[in-house]
Amino acid sequence: MVTSRWTAAPAQAPSPRRRGAVLERAILEAALDQLGAVGWNSLTMEGVAARAQTGKAAVYRRWPSKEDLVADALQAGLPDLTEVPDLGGVREDLLEVCRRVREAMFSPPGLALRSVLHECGVTQAERFSQVIVGGVVEPTLHLLREVVRRGIERGEVRPDAANSYVFDAVPAMMMYRSKVCASEWSDLDLQEMIDQLMVPLLRARVA
């Protein structure tokens, strides 16, 4: 009896059928993976579908355009910036806010978002800038307002420091240093910004 030296590969079990939120999450994660691998210009809905191991119809049913898909993928992937830190003092709370913002800016979705802005056109850039505002800037401002409000209640912060110029200082500095100066914001950088800029801005006046 002659036996073949080739044996049939075992049949692969089909992947379980995914629906609803599970499938949507897989597509969003695939979009981020593809974005990091090929960039905005080479990203295709077909490529995302293949990466997510689903049909392209499942992608187009949920997101009619590449812009819609990428905007949702970026926003869904950004770290949560809703929980207000309470470490007992305004300086410590501000440092924690800045660390969370840094995490969001340098997370894979944050880095992907910045690369998208470099590649896409003006109209698309405006759309993705709104993701930065809605996913990073506005939540950061909310955290800063709450930290300052509590500092005022504790007597650490002067009441007239609760104004838009003060609240804009942290996101403006972090975005400027990151985008223009390519700073990655070490813990020492954050501490120096808080101690040399924010604490003097907020400090309650001594009678």
Is 176 part of a structural domain of the chain? yes
Q: Within this chain, do residues 178 and 99 fall inside the same structural domain, yes or no?
A: yes
Is 7 part of a structural domain of the chain? no
Question: What local confidence, expressed as pLDDT, does residue 181 receive?
Answer: 78
Question: What local confidence, expressed as pLDDT, does residue 165 receive?
Answer: 93
Question: What local confidence, expressed as pLDDT, does residue 12 receive?
Answer: 40
Q: Within this chain, do residues 25 and 40 fall inside the same structural domain, yes or no?
A: yes
**pLDDT tens figures, 158-188:** 999 999 999 999 989 988 888 777 778 999 9
Q: Within this chain, do residues 84 and 170 fall inside the same structural domain, yes or no?
A: yes
Question: What local confidence, expressed as pLDDT, does residue 16 receive?
Answer: 57
Q: What is the CATH number of the domain that holds 39?
A: 1.10.10.60
Question: What local confidence, expressed as pLDDT, does residue 2 receive?
Answer: 37
What's the rounded Cα separation, in Å, for the pair 132 and 152?
Answer: 29
Cα–Cα distance list, 94 to 150, 179, 200 (Å): 12, 21, 13
Is 97 part of a structural domain of the chain? yes
Region 20-48 average pLDDT:
91
Is 147 part of a structural domain of the chain? yes
Domain total of the chain: 2
Q: Within this chain, do residues 26 and 64 fall inside the same structural domain, yes or no?
A: yes
Q: Within this chain, do residues 133 and 157 fall inside the same structural domain, yes or no?
A: yes
Q: Which amino acid is at 118?
A: H
Q: Within this chain, do residues 141 and 97 fall inside the same structural domain, yes or no?
A: yes
Question: What local confidence, expressed as pLDDT, does residue 109 receive?
Answer: 85
Range of the domain at 69: 20-76
Cα–Cα distance list, 11 to 3, 7, 8, 14 (Å): 20, 12, 8, 9
Q: Within this chain, do residues 142 and 66 fall inside the same structural domain, yes or no?
A: no
Is 144 part of a structural domain of the chain? yes
Do residues 18 and 26 make contact, with C-beta atoms less than 8 angstroms apart? yes
What's the rounded Cα separation, in Å, for the pair 133 and 118?
Answer: 17
**Whole-model pTM?**
0.76
Is 115 part of a structural domain of the chain? yes
